[in-house]
Amino acid sequence: MTELASLLKSIVKTKTWVSPSLVLDRLGQSPHIDSLVRDIVRSHISIWDRENFCELVLMKIDKGIKELSILLDILAEHRLKILREDKLEELLKRWGHDHEIFSALLRYIGECDVKTFIPFLERKLQAISELPMFKAFTILDVLAQIGDRGCLSILERFRAHISRAKDQPATTVLSEYTELASREIGLREVMHKRTNKKGAVLVQCAFYGDIARPGQSEGGGLATLLTTLGNSMARSNELDRIYTLFLFSLETDYWNLRLIEPRGDENHYIVRIPVSFPAHDRSNQFMIHEYEIMRAVQRALEQHCIDPDIFHIRYSDNASKALAILSKRLKKKLVFTLTSDPQRNLSGKDGRLLNMAEEETLFNMNKVYIADRLVESADGIILIGHERKNDQIIPYFPTLWIIPELLRKPLDIVPEGIDMKVYLKNGESYDKFLELLTDHEGHYKLENAYMERPIILNAGRLNRVKGQHLLLDAWVQSKLSEIYNLVLVGGNLESPNSSEHMILQLIDNTMEDHPELKGRFCLLSALPNREIRLFERAIMERINAKMPNVYACSSIKEEFGISILEAMSVGFLAIAPLNGGVSSYIEDGKNGYLIETHNATAIKLGMESVLLSRGVSSRELRAIAKKGKVYVSRVFDIDKVARIFSRFYLNIIKVS
């Protein structure tokens, strides 16, 4: 499979001739191969005989092959309206129960503007009680895309119907989506749907996690960063509007969220893009649903009347690839934040190439391939670093500094940042936040008798890669548990997902073996970013033991570690992973500490070497924490970072 993937990538890269039948025959072997086949179709469709290509696709559809949804998406993406109505009806009848194929059929109807199916869509909406939620959204989307004023009455009836069903969890969001559909149809007819743009409009993508659920899903740090950054850019008024996109899984997501909402400032909006796939295992889901993401984002832009000048993507994954393709189609500028993940993790500690199984190799090589393509297609490149330094990219990207066309691209090195202006509001108090330690719904809380002791804090989603279970093991095995309380914040403790459940089980097992530590260990559900920041401040304000309060990041590796910066900014002594990007801002023993985090013993030894070492006094540790605080405040203030980004975007627009 790796050999075939290499061959298909070389075909995309060289744009060499290849027969469409040979390419389409490769569909269905794996999501990696399917994704590359779609890339070849994109790069070759203009040189293939269109009629011949369409015949080949029709033949395959007639055979009823399992990769039907991919073929339908290819037709929809390239707007090849080749399916006869009776064929479409037959497919809808036969595959209406299949989530993937039904969605793909409707995308085809929408993109190919098959208006004769409007009555079919209307009939489906009328039978609302039989409609699963994803189908209702898909139908509303396509109806809004191809419908005319005649559809408005049915949409109105649908909205009235769902507003009566107030006990249904999805009422709010479905009602909002129906209203958007009506508005889209109404505005299309009067032809003045574009908002008055006063300046540059940025769309930034945060496809892992959601700001409404920090610490509960993948990518909480990214959601926090982009929301804070968006707010700050909006305040500075250098850009006209900022839209931060999150994905909204119709399968599992929270129905009380809004699809579009202002955030912090009226010029910054959170936009949630409805998608049919689940929120877990996103990298893999992005690969399978690359076209769905591309189209869903385009549809959301149309529905919300957003006319972006720049798209900013931040990960080397198929969702970023989808957005890159979309930006080129819409003739918009593209900015890509390039990191060396996975490149720098493909060699071991001894510097030698890691031996990987085929599936893992395919996964990593797909990210490498996407990163290379995005570097080529981006109009501007951002690297993460500060003081204009980044030494992690050049070892893996020769093209970036040797190929003249790439060398000319705008590039900047920008730190990530945090909001330094998080304060108590009227009626709030630090004591109230501190009470969370002793008084909450969870199973593990501190006892008042131990409240004088310093705290080791860790905040983040509950997941194996974040290593909270290892940190707990390290703490119970160490003399540190005699001095420090341990506080973990993260995850949805009321309704944990599978990975959260696994970590909770490990935590329970450890604590069952150590009943003597009850009352010195606290586990709290994830808190919104503002609350965790105030909680950290409360700890620093109210708990002043001889030893400093510590923020311990136990992740196996951390790409950057926004949560570490946040804790450092209020004076926690940071102990963070040696592996990853934290070393770009923590200088070991100067403004924090870097330790090995690959297992509990390594974490225990690392933390003991810092906190129990006779060579470093508690006063010196406090001085190091203070240096960290000063450094973070000076370098990572989000307002400074936002100014760099805004100017970078404006420069790219100016260059164009």
Q: What's 448's DSSP letter?
A: G
Interface with another protein in residues 411-440 (CB under 8 A) = 411-413
Choice from 23, 151, 162, 205 touching another protein (CB under 8 A):
23
**Smallest gap from residue 51 Cβ to another protein (A):** 17
Give residue 346's Cα distance to chain centre: 23
CA–CA separation, 203 and 276 (whole Å): 22
CA–CA separation, 566 and 419 (whole Å): 8
Interaction of residue 26 with another protein, rule CB under 8 A: yes
Q: How many CB atoms lie within 10 A of CB 406?
A: 17
Bridge partners (DSSP) listed for residue 457: 487, 551
CA–CA separation, 551 and 566 (whole Å): 10
Interaction of residue 13 with another protein, rule CB under 8 A: yes
Choice from 27, 112, 383, 488 touching another protein (CB under 8 A):
383
Interaction of residue 641 with another protein, rule CB under 8 A: no
**Smallest gap from residue 348 Cβ to another protein (A):** 8
Interaction of residue 399 with another protein, rule CB under 8 A: yes
Measured from the CB atom, is 366 or 563 closer to another protein?
Answer: 366
Interface with another protein in residues 332-371 (CB under 8 A) = 343-344, 346-347, 351-358, 361-362, 364-365
Interaction of residue 5 with another protein, rule CB under 8 A: yes
Strands (E) across 348-392 are located at 380-384
Interaction of residue 405 with another protein, rule CB under 8 A: no
Interaction of residue 408 with another protein, rule CB under 8 A: no
CA–CA separation, 582 and 587 (whole Å): 9
**Smallest gap from residue 388 Cβ to another protein (A):** 6
Give residue 347's Cα distance to chain centre: 26
Interaction of residue 373 with another protein, rule CB under 8 A: no
Choice from 56, 185, 393, 476 touching another protein (CB under 8 A):
393
Token look-up 């189908």 returns 135
**Smallest gap from residue 592 Cβ to another protein (A):** 23
List, in order, residues 6 or more apart from 503 with CB less than 8 Å away: 462, 463, 464, 468, 469, 491
Choice from 22, 330, 424, 612 touching another protein (CB under 8 A):
22
H or E segment to which residue 262 belongs: strand 260-263
Query: Which among 205, 282, 215, 207 has a CA at the least distance from the CA of 566?
Result: 215
Give residue 161's Cα distance to chain centre: 34
Choice from 66, 79, 197, 389 touching another protein (CB under 8 A):
389
**Smallest gap from residue 389 Cβ to another protein (A):** 6
Interaction of residue 49 with another protein, rule CB under 8 A: no
Interaction of residue 18 with another protein, rule CB under 8 A: yes
CA–CA separation, 128 and 92 (whole Å): 18
Interaction of residue 635 with another protein, rule CB under 8 A: no
Interaction of residue 391 with another protein, rule CB under 8 A: yes
Choice from 64, 96, 119, 395 touching another protein (CB under 8 A):
395
Interaction of residue 45 with another protein, rule CB under 8 A: no
Measured from the CB atom, is 118 or 400 closer to another protein?
Answer: 400
Give residue 150's Cα distance to chain centre: 38
Q: How far is CA 501 from CA 204, 493, 594, in A?
A: 32, 8, 29
Interaction of residue 390 with another protein, rule CB under 8 A: yes
Query: Which among 583, 633, 628, 592 has a CA at the least distance from the CA of 610?
Result: 592
Q: Which range in 10-18, 74-82, 113-121, 301-309 contacts another protein by CB under 8 A?
A: 10-18
**Smallest gap from residue 647 Cβ to another protein (A):** 15
**Smallest gap from residue 7 Cβ to another protein (A):** 5
Interaction of residue 7 with another protein, rule CB under 8 A: yes
CA–CA separation, 361 and 355 (whole Å): 9
Q: Which two tokens stand for residue 238?
A: 């250098």
Contact of 204 with 244, CB cutoff 8 Å = yes
Query: What is the pairing mode between strands 260-263 and 265-275?
Result: antiparallel
Interaction of residue 397 with another protein, rule CB under 8 A: yes
Measured from the CB atom, is 391 or 447 closer to another protein?
Answer: 391
Q: How many CB atoms lie within 10 A of CB 401?
A: 12
How many positions of this chain bind another protein (CB under 8 A)?
A: 55
Token look-up 């890509």 returns 336
Cβ burial 325-343 (10 Å sphere, 16+ → b, else e): bbbeeeebbbbbbbbbbbb
H or E segment to which residue 311 belongs: strand 310-313
Interaction of residue 46 with another protein, rule CB under 8 A: no
Interaction of residue 9 with another protein, rule CB under 8 A: yes
Interaction of residue 617 with another protein, rule CB under 8 A: no
Q: Which two tokens stand for residue 12?
A: 């995309």
Interaction of residue 138 with another protein, rule CB under 8 A: no
Q: Distance between terminal CA atoms of the chain?
A: 41
Choice from 149, 194, 329, 388 touching another protein (CB under 8 A):
388
CA–CA separation, 275 and 86 (whole Å): 28
Q: Which range in 105-113, 216-224, 299-307, 397-405 contacts another protein by CB under 8 A?
A: 397-405
Measured from the CB atom, is 22 or 655 closer to another protein?
Answer: 22
**Smallest gap from residue 633 Cβ to another protein (A):** 24
Backbone angles phi, psi at 253, to 5 degrees: -75, 170
Q: Which range in 300-308, 329-337, 410-418, 526-534 contacts another protein by CB under 8 A?
A: 410-418
**Smallest gap from residue 59 Cβ to another protein (A):** 13
Interaction of residue 16 with another protein, rule CB under 8 A: yes
Judge residue 288's burial from the number of C-beta atoms within 10 Å of its C-beta, 0-12 exposed, 13-18 middle, 19 or more buried.
middle
Interaction of residue 618 with another protein, rule CB under 8 A: no
Query: Which among 532, 597, 524, 522 has a CA at the least distance from the CA of 562?
Result: 532
Choice from 401, 432, 443, 656 touching another protein (CB under 8 A):
401
Q: Which two tokens stand for residue 364?
A: 């990593």
Choice from 120, 255, 396, 430 touching another protein (CB under 8 A):
396
Interaction of residue 66 with another protein, rule CB under 8 A: no
**Smallest gap from residue 603 Cβ to another protein (A):** 25
CA–CA separation, 177 and 296 (whole Å): 13
Contact residues for another protein, defined by CB under 8 A: 2-7, 9-11, 13-14, 16-19, 21-23, 25-26, 343-344, 346-347, 351-358, 361-362, 364-365, 383, 388-391, 393-402, 407, 411-413
